[in-house]
Each structure stands twice: as structure tokens, then as C-alpha cells.
Amino acid sequence: MAKIGFIGTGIMGKPMAQNLQNAGHTLFFSEHFEKAPAELIGDHGIGLANPREVAQEAEFIIVMVPDTPQVDDVLFRQDGVAEGVGAGKVVIDMSSISPTATKTFAEKIKATGAEYLDAPVSGGEVGAKAATLSIMVGGSEAAFERTLPLFQAMGKNITRVGGNGDGQTAKVANQIIVALNIQAVAEALLFAARNGADPAKVREALMGGFAGSKILEVHGERMIKGTFDPGFRISLHQKDLNLALAGARELGLNLPNTANAQQVFSTCAAIGGSNWDHSALIKGLEHMANFSIRKE
């Protein structure tokens, strides 16, 4: 069994860490920011003072934090991961961050003699708990093969996309698709309800046709019931779409529908919804329409 450092035990990270422990691996947690959840500490979980100590103890070091600046801090702070790694170790960033920054981080870590994988995930809290995450990996074939048993303890659809940065590029593409599908479902249900139809019955009818999708199934139900406790917060999806739009500008691309979805998320944030689940995008549309599909 492997010795794994795991930094970032939030909504996604905590169940991912638990699944690694359930597979028999020993995990080391950094308590430089806050103590690891008590249920992760025990026979297969050890709390240490900072990321450097975690990296010194572990063969694999997983980072699962919200955004690019946090990854930068964990890796390269004075007592960061980079000070504790070297030959034989693999740093795995499973956060969703900038592909451009990822390439820089990878070069700096590889200069220590360690390997680096960017391996962002999709599937939300449900997938993290069920160990059914999709994992998109960038890095060397050798490092990927060595790390694959860890990925298999956390996910089902595991793909090495290419070199460093390519995993993050795939994740940004994923977030574009998810956002636009959420917006499509939200607009369809709003249209149906405003026309006097029962949105729950409309969703049921659409599930059996070409419009059927996981978004319609899971998030469509959330929209109808108004259950917007976060599996994936709007603020985090905004961060991912910012990465998409910034990358598009660098490449000279126009992503008009992505930009529009971001504007609707911004409406949600403006009415207090930054921490709602991203399925609550419908509330931004409802706000603009002055109409709710739910009898609230």
C-alpha cells in the first residue's frame, strides 16, 4: 500500500481521501491551514504541520484545493511541497486550475527530480463519494501508470490526455460543456413553466428522448425541487469559466455561449448565490424573468 500526502479536504477532497483510505493506503494531511477532519485521522491518517513534512513522508502527494493561487501556495510556500520532494516522488494536482500555470508548476517540480501530473476531476460531490469521478490526466506515461491504482480508488473514467497542462485543458473543456448544458436545461424548464406546463412532467417527457442527459436528470430535478445546497458551487464554476475565457483570449477565440453562461452565473452571484450549487443558474434566469418555476 502507498504512502500518500493529501492536501485539501473540502467538499471533494474529503471523500476522495476516504476512498484512498478505504483502499488501504496511509494518508498524511497538512494542518498548516486547518486541522484535517477527525474522521480522516487514525490508523490510515496522520496529521502533519505543513506541506513540506507531508511531501517528505509520502511517495505520492495529492493537492485538491480551489484555485491556481492556492496550488501555487501549497507547492512553493516557504514550507511547501517543493521543499520536501525529489527523485522517486510524484506530485499530483487534482484541483481545477490554469493550464498555463500548470505547465510552469510542472517544470519547477520536475526540476527537483520528482514527477508531476495534473489530474483534475469531474463528477461533483456525488462522484467523489461514490469513487466514480472522471479523471483527466496530463503528464508522462510512466508517472501515469505508476499512479493509476490511486486514481482507480477514486474514479472510473480515467484518461491520460497528454503532457502536463493537457489534463487541465480537458477539465476546462468539460466545464464549458457542463455550464452550457445547465443553461440549456434551465432555459427549457423556465420556458415550459412560463407557458403553463408542469416542468416536472416536461422533464419526465424529455428524459426519454434525444434531449435526455445527466444534467437534465440530476440538475433538472434540483431545479424543480429547489435543492441548491452545493455539490459544486457557482463561484467555482465561475472560476473555471474565467479560465476558459482567459484561455480563449490568449488563443484568439470567441466563445460567445460560454461568456453568456458566465453572465448568468454573475447574476446569481449578484443576488447572493455564489455558494449555491451550479444548478441554481436557473435562479439567475428566473430573476431576470421575474418568474419562478417552483411554487415558492
Active site residues: 171
Distance CA 118, CA 153 (A): 17
Q: How many residues does the chain have?
A: 296
**Which residues does residue 4 pair with via DSSP β-bridges, in sequence order?**
27, 60
Write down the residue that cell numbers 520528482 correspond to: 114
Please report, in angstroms and rounded to a whole number, the separation of the first and last CA atoms in the chain.
52
**Four-point Cα dihedral 69, 72, 75, 77, nearest 10:** -90
Instruction: Output the CA–CA distances (angstroms, integers) from residue 74 to 14, 37, 80, 117, 165, in the order listed.
Output: 17, 18, 5, 15, 18
Is the distance from CB of 92 to CB of 121 less than 8 angstroms? no
Which of these, 109, 104, 98, 118, lies nearest to 51 by C-alpha position?
Answer: 109
Beta bridge partners of 117: 92
Residue 183 and residue 55: Cα distance in Å, rounded?
41
- Angle at which helix 99-110 crosses helix 166-194, to 10 degrees, equals 150
Query: Which of 244, 190, 250, 189 is CA-nearest to residue 216?
Result: 189
Rg over alpha carbons for the chain, rounded to the nearest Å, is 20
